[in-house]
Homo-oligomer: A and B are copies of this chain.
Amino acid sequence: MKNRLYFDTTLNEKAHMAYDAIMKEKKTIGYYALPEQDITPIMDYCQTIPAEIKTIAVIGIGGSSLGAKSVYEFLKPVEKLTRKLYFFESTDPINIKNLLDKIDLNSTHFLVISKSGTTVETFAIYKYILSKQNNPTSFTFITDSGSALEKYAKEIQANVLHLPNNVGGRFSVLSVVGLVPLALCGINIQSLLQGANSIKKSFFEEGYLQSILLKKALFYAENHAKYHINCLFAYSESLKYFCEWYVQLWGESLGKKQRHSAFHVGLTPIGLIGPKDQHSFLQLIMEGTRDKSVTFIQIEDFQDKIEIPNTSLPHLKSLDTLNGLYFSELINMQCNSVMEALQEEKNIPLDSISIPKIDAENIGSLIFYYELLTSLVGELIDVNTYDQPGVEAAKIILKEKLHK
């Protein structure tokens, strides 16, 4: 993975303090340790799921589904996966019925994932599915150790797996929450962790990413009032769900009241897919209010070499310049053209990330890169990156409505 910043900033005392704070919280916040975990227990668990199981269905929402979905959807088009993976992540009845139409209950294993063990959406869906499939061996439960859900699972003699309780939902993709569904589909989770670990090492062992990540986080924090929208513009349809994962990670971690003030702060995340969104959002970046920074992601080699044929169309000769080009060259040329056009403008801070190809290692790197960046920015804008107190009010109101 390469990352190049097209803006400059000088590392200062604040940045060094943030680095020290990260070094300290590394001892208590669980996600930092995940790249080096031993995956033997997960692989052993996967062996217990019979080969007749053709489909894995996650029942979970937010942090319990977005991470695995982003990796699965990234790899699905290019890798031969052993099982299909579906996500029940909405209380929309049309969506639930549609998903059920796609799966055969007898060859599906359900992963019910809820950190707290009491997520309303997850249990509404679980209860419905249970009325159609009530064999406990068709379910595995993933939850915090000691939760009511664990007790329930034990009572019905179903499988339970624990996520480390110092790993928050939106930082849990490299824990059992993401690794179990992915491994069950035949995705190489060791490579995924290796990719994450290479970023971890580069940051903590003074590799090239250390100063880049610090500079980027510092720039975002220092210019918080001016550039309060961060766009992630990924030139690959396969990164669509990675963008959704990033939106959750960034929005829910950084949108907070400050720890030491009454200020509401936060950087608004926006996920974009190129070249499609050149025909949608680019105009706003280019000519709208100059309140956005943009990070481009490119895939250097799409491998699947398909070429634009050498066809000349009458009356459309101007398009002959496309002839003989690989689509992977074209899409990256489009990305570079947009970057160059934006560079000619003032007040649009850019950086670019490129990964060599579409594989588990590279998506692991992207994940850990964004987790580290989020932690750094959170520290520098003085918020608690790991809580989400703002979602409680609506939950309490819903509970009251349900009691009536």
Which positions in A face B, CB cutoff 8 Å? 61-63, 66, 77-78, 89-98, 117-118, 120-121, 123-124, 127-128, 130-131, 148-149, 151-152, 155-156, 169, 228-229, 235-238, 244, 247-248, 251-252, 254-257, 264-266, 268, 270, 273, 275-276, 278-292, 302, 304-309, 311, 313-316, 318-319, 321-323, 325-328, 330-331, 333-334, 336-338, 340-342, 344, 358, 388-391, 393-395, 397-399, 401-403
Contacts of A395 in B (CB 8 A): 337
In order of increasing CB-CB distance, the 5 nearest A-B pairs are: A62-B279, A255-B284, A266-B288, A255-B288, A286-B390
In the bound assembly, the distance between CA atoms of A353 and B237 in angstroms comes to 31
Is B391 a contact of A282 with CB atoms below 8 Å? Answer: yes
- Please determine whether B398 and A306 come into contact, CB atoms closer than 8 angstroms: no
Residue from the list B281, B289, B342, B394 in contact with A248, Cβ < 8 A = B281
Q: Chain A: interface secondary structure?
A: helix
Q: Is the CB of B130 within 8 A of A302?
A: no
CB distance from A261 to the nearest CB of B (A): 13
- A313 contact set on B, CB distance < 8 A: 123, 127, 152
* A338 cross-chain contacts in B, Cβ below 8 A: 394
Contact, CB under 8 Å: A128 / B308: yes
Q: Could you jot down 28 A-B contacts, CB within 8 Å?
A: A61-B276, A62-B278, A77-B94, A93-B304, A93-B327, A94-B304, A95-B238, A121-B275, A123-B316, A127-B319, A151-B315, A248-B280, A251-B281, A255-B286, A255-B289, A256-B287, A266-B284, A266-B287, A268-B270, A268-B291, A282-B394, A284-B390, A286-B391, A287-B390, A321-B399, A340-B394, A341-B394, A344-B393
The answer to whether B93 and A306 touch across the interface, beta carbons within 8 angstroms, is yes
Asked if residues B288 and A264 are in contact (CB atoms below 8 Å), the reply is yes
* B311 and A341 contacting across the interface, CB-CB below 8 Å: no
CA distance A359 to B313 in the complex (A): 41
> Which of B121, B235, B284, B322 interacts with A402 by CB under 8 Å?
B322
A41 to chain B, nearest CB (A): 25
CA distance A399 to B286 in the complex (A): 18
Which chain B residues border A325 with CB–CB below 8 Å? 124, 402
Complexed CA–CA distance, A123 and B325 (Å): 12
